Amino acid sequence: MSAVFSLTMVAETLRISAPYACAAAGGVWAERSGVIQIGLEGVLLTSAFTSVAVAHATGSAALGVVAGVIAGAAISVGHGLLVEKARVDAVVSGIALNLSAMAGTRLALRGLYGSASNSPAIEGFRFGPTGSAGWSLLARVFADPVTLLAIAAVVATPFVLARTRLGLRVRAAGENPVAAAAVGVDVTRVRLSALAISGAVCALGGVHLAFDQHRFESGMSNGRGFIALAAVVVSGWRAGRAAMACLAFGALEALQIVLQDQARKGSLGDLVQLLPYVATLLVLAFAAGRSAAPKGLGKPAEE
């Protein structure tokens, strides 16, 4: 039981939650501005791959982070341009984004590293004490620049949305684009800005995923973008609650790892592995009907 309430558990929860929370915050930014974004999975993958490729080529982890974030913002804005300017259906564009990210990273893996499964290892950031004790795990989490950036972005999101001019305009664009335009807000520009932020924040999650493993693996986002999207919906499109939902999900996954260590002998481990997913299903089933989407979600900028 002590394994459940331990520093290891806290450290693992934070480490595991970071990509989910970043993707969810990114989803909130996009959808609160009124643009349906089911392509978070693709943003995670693309940014994870780009960060590893650049870090590997330049030998600089910092440059890798920057490149990953830029790549995430860029494809997210690309999605926005397709939806807002070319009037492509947002769901179609999102699916296209996910599929091309999946295929594109595979193709690039083969082209650059001649492998179907993973990139060569990168150094990434290695700060903090070594060892597998709980306190050293936790220290490493808080010494990791990517994790710190991720936490900062996730914590800042609800404040920026609620308290700044940009946040007000993003919310207006998402709730009632016609009314926002009527008072002189350039809805298309606001939505593209929101998507750039969405992509950048989500990309931090992708970079975290890759740097945590010190390499890129094909399909390594493994559905996290979709689970984050579920968290956004369950939270009623509220950034703070979505982050809490991701933290809870991360805790369940951490619990599963901790318990699995203990139950390795029996067949219980397989069942324990299901825990986070069963929890997601349950929460979705109970919360789906009650949450309120932004009223202008998916509505074009003009009448």
Partner 1 sequence: MPAPVLRVDRATRRFGELVAVDGASLTLEAGAVSAIVGENGAGKSTLLKLCAGVLAPSSGRVLIGDADLAPATMAEASRRGVGLVHQHFMLVGAFRAIENVVLGAEPVRSGGRLDLATATARVRELMTASGLPVPLDAITDDLTVGERQRLEILRVLYRGARVLLLDEPTAVLSPLEAEELYGTLRRLAAEGRAVAVVTHRLDEVVRFADRVTVMRRGRVVHEAELRLEGGGRRPAAGLEEELTRAIMGGDPPPPFAPPAFAEGAAVALAVAGLRLGDGAGRTLLDGVDLEVRAGEIVGVAGVEGNGQRELVRALAGLEPRAEGTVTVAGQRLDPRARDAVRARRSVLAVVHEDRHEDGLMLEASVADNLVIGDLGDPRSIAFDEAAVVARRLGRFHVDPADPARLAGELSGGNQQKLVVARALDRLLSARATGAAVLAQPTRGVDVGAAAAIHAAIGEAAAAGLGVLVVSADLAELRRLAHRLVVMRRGRIVATLPPTASEAEIGRAMLGVEAA
Confirm or reject binding of residue 156 to partner 1 (CB under 8 A). no
Structure tokens at 27: 């989803």
Q: Interaction with partner 1 in 262-301: which residues (CB under 8 A)? A: 294-295
Q: Within positions 86 to 125, which residues make up the interface with partner 1, using CB under 8 A?
A: none
Other Cβ atoms less than 10 A from the Cβ of 43: the count is: 35
The least distance separating partner 1 from the CB of residue 142, rounded to whole angstroms, comes to 26
What is the total count of residues that contact partner 1 (CB under 8 A)?
Answer: 20
Report the sign of the C-alpha dihedral through residues 87, 35, 66, 211, in that order.
negative
- 155 lines the binding site for partner 1 (CB under 8 A): no
Q: What's the CA dihedral at 43, 219, 89, 298 to 10 degrees? A: -50
Give the contacts of 82 (CB within 8 A, at least 6 positions apart).
88, 93
The position carrying tokens 């306190």 is 135
d(CA 150, CA 32): 20
Only one of the segments 8-16, 60-68, 100-108, 158-166 lies at the binding site for partner 1 (rule: CB under 8 A); that segment is: 158-166
Q: Of 1, 116, 183, 285, which one interacts with partner 1 (CB under 8 A)?
A: 183
Distances in Å between the Cα of 163 and the Cα atoms of 32, 185, 192 are: 14, 17, 19
Q: Is 168 in the site for partner 1 (CB under 8 A)?
A: yes
C-alpha 226, offset from chain centre: 9
One residue of 140, 169, 238, 241 binding partner 1 per CB under 8 A: 169
Interface residue with partner 1, options 152, 156, 178, 288 (CB under 8 A):
178
Residue in 124, 145, 127 with CA at minimum distance from that of residue 137: 127
State the binding string over 184-223 for partner 1 (x if CB under 8 A, else -).
xx--------------------------------------
Q: From 44-52, 100-108, 172-180, 249-257, give the range in contact with partner 1 by CB under 8 A.
A: 172-180
Q: Where do contacts with partner 1 occur on this chain (CB under 8 A)? A: 163-169, 171-172, 175-176, 178-180, 182-185, 294-295
